[in-house]
Amino acid sequence: MNELVEQLLEGALAQSVEAEPAEDDDLVEIEEEILLPIPADFKDFLIHASHIVYGSLEPVTAHDSHLHTHLPEVTAQAWAEGLERDLIPLCAVGMGYYCVNQEGEVLLWQNGEMTDEYWESVWNWVERVWLES
């Protein structure tokens, strides 16, 4: 995990306003809002990496509720579009979402249905998808 965060930071895009990393209290509030527990690896990601702006993908964030990537807002939108309510969006992409199931696996939901693509963990997704974007 630490190596992946370092790679993201090295290639991070400059921002006029730096985003703040999430804290444990932010995650507790989000779990209460979405009525789902956030898997452990996803929590680690939200705390250590979700505030980094890197590549062409914009994963969800957990600290600033005014950002268009704030997890509860993205979750509400994804669920409204038909994403199953036991899945938590990780990142909007095209006509769908990368999402995390309760086992911590990342799945791709696109055009209203689940695809065959999946990654064993959020950090595996970071390495194979986000760092490549």
Note whether 75 and 89 are within 8 A (CB).
yes
Q: Where are the domains of the chain?
A: 2-130
Fold classified for 2-130: SMI1/KNR4-like (3.40.1580)
Note whether 87 and 117 are within 8 A (CB).
no
Q: Where are the beta strands (DSSP E) in the chain?
A: 88-93, 96-100, 106-110, 113-119
Of 129, 53, 42, the closest CA to residue 93 belongs to 129
pLDDT < 70 stretches in the chain: 13-19
Structure tokens at 24: 């444990």
What is each CA distance from 10 to 1, 48, 55, 57, 66, in whole angstroms? 14, 14, 12, 16, 26
User: Using CA atoms, how far apart are residues 56 and 94, in angstroms rounded to an integer?
Assistant: 11
All residues at 6 or more sequence positions from 38 whose CB lies less than 8 Å from its CB, including other chains = 27, 30, 31, 46, 88, 100
Task: Give the chain's largest Cα–Cα span.
Answer: 38
Amino acid 16: pLDDT: 43
